[in-house]
Amino acid sequence: MRIAIIGAGCSGLTAIKHLIEAGIEDVICYEKTDQIGGNWVYTATPSHSSISITTHTISSKPMSQFSDFPMPPDYPDYPSHQQILAYFQAYAQHFQLEQYIRFQIAVLQVHKIQNERWRLTLSDGTQPEFDFLLVANGHLSNPRHPDWKKNFSGKYLHSHDFKSNHGFENQRVLVVGAGNSGCDCAIEASRNAASVDMSLRSPQYVIPKLIMGKPTDTFAAAMRWLPRHMQSWLQRLTLRIQIGRYRDYGLPEPDFSPTQAHPTVNSEIFDRIRHGKIHPRPGIESVTGKTIRFTDGSIAEYDAVIAATGYITSFPFFDRDFLNWENTAHIPLYLRIFHPDHPSLFFIGLIQPQGCIWTLAEAQSRLVSQFLTGRVCLPDNWQKLAVTEGKYWAQQFLARPRHSLEVHYYPYLMQIQRLRTQK
């Protein structure tokens, strides 16, 4: 049994670890850069990584550590990107994972060949073949740009390429989008820009990192056993007590449940707004030169625009005729892992939970390793379930591109764990 893994980020690392632990030793992970860490490898210039110099986690330390490898006790509640990268490096060293990784080798093309096998075309000119393929390349590398990008004549960049507030001194800046990246960009730009506006096309929940002195995700975890409507009611009540009404900050009030959308987790944004450093704006109607008209009829000019408009789910090594999920409403995978048409193809970390990705990637990797060694069997109708399950998750969230990969953390985790305990 020969297995290839694409990507040595957090998902690829835990995939290697669990395959080896299961007794599968013919494993090769291809990483196009010169080190592990994937998105958590910060660079001062635009690269594959989307993090900036000030990035911290939005999931807390207790909720972001692998089950068998705790973070150092001196780590704060919300570790920095430097600490997270060091954590992944320690994880790889502890479990001796780097011997299975081929660095600076990119996977250029992947073709399915006979007998459910895979041929990889690599940047070193070789074409090795494998029995199984695990895709763990992440989903934060292909920015989604707004249609009006070409109409703006000032400085434009996607939040993926925002590394610091250097270069925005004394400029009028507009940040488009109020997700986690958008808020981070707006906060950092507001420290030295002349002015910072933030455009929101639709309402969304912005949640502080601490609730009653506890990390928000640990507070929410304590309510996970309650019915969904009770969780939603308690979350609304807690937010009202903690921050008041969103309209007090110039933000639109959400008309949906907190469990229906991916939240923005940020505490500082509220202070920056109330101190007049960031000014919320409605959605954009049109762009001409440096002039932007908003949906409320107001007009403003900007020197720079930062588009925090999300990402396109893409796999550049697959032919588009073979697999193309760039504009799909839901991902047709059983448990967000198993492809119904290609039983030897698995995806690790292709999820967007309301919580930490890599702890769920760990659960996915453990399941795949147990499946490959015959310790777990999939349901007889798993291929049909891949379709119905995708539609189910799509119904749980608002119909927005950012939710195509969304799952509820604990229900999804328990779904995986139930399957693992069936045999």
**What are 214-237's pLDDT values in tens digits?**
898 888 888 888 887 888 888 888
Task: Report how far residue 163's alpha carbon sits from residue 185's, in angstroms, rounded to the nearest whole number.
Answer: 9
Domains of the chain plus CATH, in order, are: 3-142+311-420 (3.50.50.60), 147-307 (3.50.50.60)
Q: What's residue 420's pLDDT?
A: 67
Treating both helix axes as pointing N-terminal to C-terminal, what angle do 409-420 and 357-372 enclose, rounded to 10 degrees? 20
* C-alpha distance from residue 48 to each of 32, 135, 291 (Å): 10, 16, 31
Summarised one tens digit per residue, pLDDT across range 61-112 is: 999 999 999 999 999 999 999 999 999 999 999 999 999 999 999 999 999 9
Residue 383 has pLDDT above 60, yes or no: yes
Would you say 278 and 196 are in contact if contact means Cβ atoms under 8 Å apart? yes
Per DSSP, the three-state class of 422 is: coil
401 pLDDT more than 80 = no
| 3-state DSSP helix/strand/coil % of the chain, to nearest 5 | 35, 20, 45
Assess whether pLDDT exceeds 90 at residue 48. Answer: no
Q: Which helix (H) or strand (E) holds 383?
A: helix 382-396
What is the average pLDDT across 394-414? 82
Lookup: tokens for 88? 């992944």
The confidence band for 422, taking pLDDT boundaries of 50, 70 and 90, is low
Q: What is the average pLDDT value for the chain, to the nearest integer?
A: 92
Tokens of 314: 């893409």
Query: What pLDDT was estimated at residue 23?
Result: 96
User: Residue 346's pLDDT band (boundaries 50, 70, 90)?
Assistant: very high
Burial 93-118 (b: 16+ CB within 10 A, else e): eebebbebbeeebebeebebeeeeeb
User: How far apart, in Å, do the first and last CA atoms of the chain sit?
Assistant: 22
Q: Is 121 helix (H, G, I), strand (E, B) or coil?
A: strand
48 or 288: which leads in pLDDT: 288
Tell me which of 110-114, 330-334, 338-342 is least confident. Answer: 330-334
**Whole-number percent of the chain with pLDDT over 70:** 99
Q: Is 379 left (phi over 0), alpha (psi -120 to 50) or beta?
A: beta
Mean pLDDT of 6-20: 97
The confidence band for 185, taking pLDDT boundaries of 50, 70 and 90, is very high
Confidence check: pLDDT of 423 > 60: no
* Res 230: pLDDT: 86
In tens, the pLDDT along 302-313 reads 999 999 999 988
DSSP string for residues in 325-338: -TT-SS---BTTTE
Contacts 24+ apart (CB under 8 A), 222-230: 224/410, 228/257, 228/259, 229/257
Give the mean model confidence (pLDDT) for residues 366-388: 93
Q: Is the dihedral of CA 72, 38, 22, 123 positive or negative?
A: negative
Q: What is the pLDDT of residue 396?
A: 79
Query: What's the confidence (pLDDT) of residue 404?
Result: 79
